[in-house]
A and B are shown apart, each in its own frame.
Chain A
Amino acid sequence: MKTKNKDILNFVILVLFAGVLFIRYFEHRIIKINSTELAFSYKYGFISRGLVGTVYRGLDKILPFNIMTYDGLYYFFIISTFCLYALIFLFAFLCLKRSGNESKKGIIIISLIYIIYAIPMFAANYNFGRLDLYCLMVTIIAVISIITGRLEWIAIIMSALGVMIHQGYVFMYFSIVLVLLLYKAMSDDKRDRKKSLIILIISFTIGSALFLYFELFSHLNGEGIYEEIVGIASKICANGDYHADVIDHEVLGIDLSDREIVWRWHNGLQLPFYILFMLPYIVIGVRFFKGLITKSVNKVEKYKYIFVAIGSLTILPDMIFKCDYGRWMFCITSYYCIVIMALVAMGDKLVIEEMNIIIEELWGNKIILFLILYLLLFQPLADVNICPITTKIGDTINGVFHFYVDP
């Protein structure tokens, strides 16, 4: 009973902390790319990124007031953001409940780390209302179904929805679902193995098919719908100022690589510094996975943990072809936090043992205090720019060497 009360108290503490974190970073503004994307809808055919816009228009039809305005979108995004936060907390609480006493400290610490990233990420204006939040929502729902082992087939539907929300989902958050399904497929229980394998294959197939369709075939009628989408975007964006590039890319299929050269300079200057600053966590992560892999009892277990360790590499195509490094860093953080918590919740003994070893060591020399505090200095993650510190450093270096001129 005492442990249960302590769990609830710790959870409440996290929620209150998250509340203040939200107030700290919320900027009350939707930037044009995030509002423009809600102009896409299935009214124009089965186009990429059209799902959320379709849901939004459906709401506009149902509700007795007009929400096809900037203000309507603003409140829709607030509700969506809070839904995401609620899901994150639900997931954390589930993991806490399902973990043994020896793992609770680890779960709370990883939850705290993830909250420090996730709350500011979707509160600050760069990503307030960004489609990534819906991608993360469907991912968490899928992960919850995988952990609980109930209605696991929902993972197939969530995967499909994820790609329909944003086809980049296949690189960003899909790996979380796939790795957990693969993990379960490589687990001891024969029944679990078969079921998970089937769900994995179907999810992967549907996700890939949808991705290829949206990337290669969904722009065929682009010219015909362009003006209407611009019209809608003007209504829902602040001061009618819509994001022309995203419409050009998603509706007309125009390649934006030449327009993004400046942003690639931002990426190139900032990434090395971000990696440098995150070295303590990278070292801890490498130690953690090295421990898992070396302590594995057989080859299957070894490969299981190798896949878990490298699952975030699906972000590489995004890092090569796309410039939103702040979002990709968040994807990597999400992957490791969610997957590790899920594995602990699923009772993986080796993961629990290795996590506890590392946490006890960090706790013993008080480094854990700094590991939490330190993260707060890097919030919020942005989009093209990674975070405020790397932005400052990148701008300072560019001030001296003049590598680029911002448009």
Chain B
Amino acid sequence: MKNDLRKKIIILLGFCVISSIVFYEGIVNSMNTTTYAFSYQYGFKARAFMGTILRIFNKIFPYDFMSYRGVVVFSIMLDILFIAILFVFYIIIFKNAEKKQWNKLYYLMIMFSIFAFPEFLTEENLGRTDVCLVIISILGLILLLKDKWEFLIIPLSAIAVCIHQGYVLMYFNVFLVILFSRIIERQGKEKTKSIMVFALSVIVAAILFIFLNFYSHDNGHEIFDEIFSTASGLAHDGAVHRELMMHEVLGENPFTDEWKYHVFNFKEMALFIVFFIPYIIIAFSFFKGCIKDVKGIDKLKYFAIALGSATLLPDFIVKIDYARWIFAGLFYYFMIIMYFVALKDEVIIKNINVSWEKLKRNKVLAIVLLAYPMLFMPLGDWKISPVTTEILRLLGQGKEVL
């Protein structure tokens, strides 16, 4: 069993290394370098957590992290940490799950890895703080899987909101759905504990979200120039993302010209959905099966699992980074299903087996369904994928934004 696990992980690791070489672009764009200019030296500001960590690194280590090169190195370190934690998660999943589920889990891991390995290596996302949100989410999942120190979800969520207040819409759903399912399943003290953790996580995250979004810009004008100068020093060519500065430091909303990007988003999203219809059908059939298999209050649990990604809807409506929201949605579904399989949830396992048997009937389809997402990699930020963007470009769409 150990050998089998070792072989699976080594092969996946090899795939990760090659994948990283292919997709690594070595450039941190101005949006992401500007984020590192924010820090708690200016007060309790939105998105200042990672900038503060960067400054701590700069003080501790004999390397100039407060430079463009330093930001690139720091970003690479974060990506390596993400990959390492992802593999630790995979190993824990395997060790917790029944051996007969390993092939299905491996298939899911490979499929998620296709999206995950290149995600934070491209120019759009190298150094993006989303990587930290994902790391924290996986850490929390590991704790929940081990059923140890559940209360740590509260500070982890708090840190995540401090890193990027968008966390509450993007990655918080994984914790909330798992805690909610525990509230439904558990009894007595365990139930109370889960309710406390759920409630406190929500309250702390909500307070931080509201404060950082609406009340953290008080001395914005006083610190603007200093942060601007720092951001310029961190950028590749001195370029600072002005709109981000105005939004996060001054609390203004300069993103008024985004409607043309939204129009492009809607078209590209529609195309992306068309291309991924087979997966949507499989997922729909899977969740329908889960919900049908249970009665009473248990239905709530599986409804929550099925619809947990709905927290992304405000992002899809208000913000333009559709590729990031898609990745967050994929992260949610893959993580939550792997989590429940590892927990030996009977309903999830039964329906995974049903889907697997259907897939096994046509092995060619099974291989193609796995390989197909690779054609759409890497996911970008406001542009979803090279294939969908290219099709729209060919159709003469999005001329104003492309």
- Which residues of A approach B to under 8 Å, CB–CB? 6, 9-10, 13-14, 17, 20-21, 23-24, 26, 105, 108-109, 112, 116, 277, 363, 365-370, 372-374, 376-377, 388-389, 392-393
Contacts and interface: CB of A to CB of B under 8 A. Distances in A.
Given A366-B8, A370-B11, 12 more contacts: A10-B362, A13-B364, A14-B368, A23-B390, A24-B376, A108-B364, A109-B364, A112-B364, A112-B371, A373-B371, A377-B22, A389-B22
A367 B11 contact: yes
B323 to A, nearest CB: 16
A146 B255 CA distance: 64
A363 B363 contact: yes
A365 B6 CA distance: 13
A219 to B, nearest CB: 41
A366 B368 CA distance: 14
B114 A366 contact: no
A151 B11 CA distance: 47
B76 to A, nearest CB: 14
A24 B386 contact: yes
Given A373-B374, A374-B15, A20 B275 contact: yes
Contacts of B275: 20
A23 B368 contact: no
Interface string B358-402: 000011110110111011100000000011001100000000000
B330 to A, nearest CB: 17
Interface in B8-52: 8, 11, 15, 18-19, 21-22
Contact of A10 (B110, B364, B370): B364
A28 B368 CA distance: 26
A20 B11 contact: no
Nearest to A10: B364
B22 A388 contact: yes
A14 B367 CA distance: 11
A337 B386 CA distance: 29
Contacts of A363: 363
B21 A389 contact: yes
Contacts of B19: 377
Contacts of B375: 17, 20-21, 24, 376
A26 B275 CA distance: 17
B219 interface: no
A397 B142 CA distance: 39
A369 B110 contact: yes
Contacts, number: 79
A112 B374 CA distance: 14
A368 B367 contact: yes
Contacts of B260: none
A109 B368 CA distance: 10
Contacts of A14: 364, 368
Contacts of A377: 18-19, 22, 374
B106 interface: yes
Contact of B365 (A10, A109, A366, A376): A10
B103 interface: yes
A78 to B, nearest CB: 12
A376 B387 contact: no
Contacts of B15: 370, 373-374
A388 B23 CA distance: 10
B7 interface: yes
Given A23-B387, A105-B363, A369 B370 contact: yes
Give the size category of B's interface with A: 20 to 34
Contact of A20 (B18, B22, B370, B387): B387
A112 B367 CA distance: 10
Contacts of A369: 107, 110, 367, 370
A397 to B, nearest CB: 13
A17 B391 CA distance: 15
Contacts of A10: 362, 364-365
B109 to A, nearest CB: 11
4 nearest interchain CB pairs?
A: A10-B364, A24-B375, A376-B374, A377-B22
B170 to A, nearest CB: 27
A51 B387 CA distance: 35
Contacts of A372: 367, 370-371
Contacts of A21: 375
6 contacts: A369-B370, A370-B11, A370-B110, A373-B370, A374-B15, A377-B374
Contacts of A17: 368, 371-372, 375
B371 A376 contact: yes
Nearest to B365: A13
A108 B371 CA distance: 14
A232 B162 CA distance: 64
Contacts of B368: 13-14, 17, 112
Nearest to B361: A6
B104 to A, nearest CB: 11
A185 B7 CA distance: 44
A21 B390 CA distance: 12
Contact of B106 (A26, A277, A366, A373): A366
Interface in B69-113: 103, 106-107, 110
Interface in B280-307: none
Contacts of A373: 15, 110, 114, 370-371, 374
A370 B363 CA distance: 14
Contacts of B386: 24
Given A369-B110, A373-B374, A376-B371, A392 B21 contact: yes
Contacts of B21: 389, 392-393
Contacts of A365: 7
A277 B386 CA distance: 25
A389 B370 contact: no
A374 B22 CA distance: 11
A135 B45 CA distance: 64
Contact of A105 (B106, B107, B364): B364
Contacts of B18: 277, 374, 377, 389
Listed residue (A9, A10, A23, A365) with the most chain B CB atoms within 10 angstroms of its CB: A23
A371 to B, nearest CB: 10
A20 B372 contact: yes
A237 B181 CA distance: 64
Contacts of A20: 275, 372, 375, 387
Nearest to A7: B364
B277 to A, nearest CB: 11
A338 to B, nearest CB: 20
A355 B305 CA distance: 43
Nearest to B275: A20
Contacts of A13: 364-365, 368
Nearest to A9: B362
A376 B7 CA distance: 21
B372 A23 contact: no
A401 B270 CA distance: 48
Nearest to B113: A373
Listed residue (B7, B22, B370) with the most chain A CB atoms within 10 angstroms of its CB: B22
A372 B373 CA distance: 13
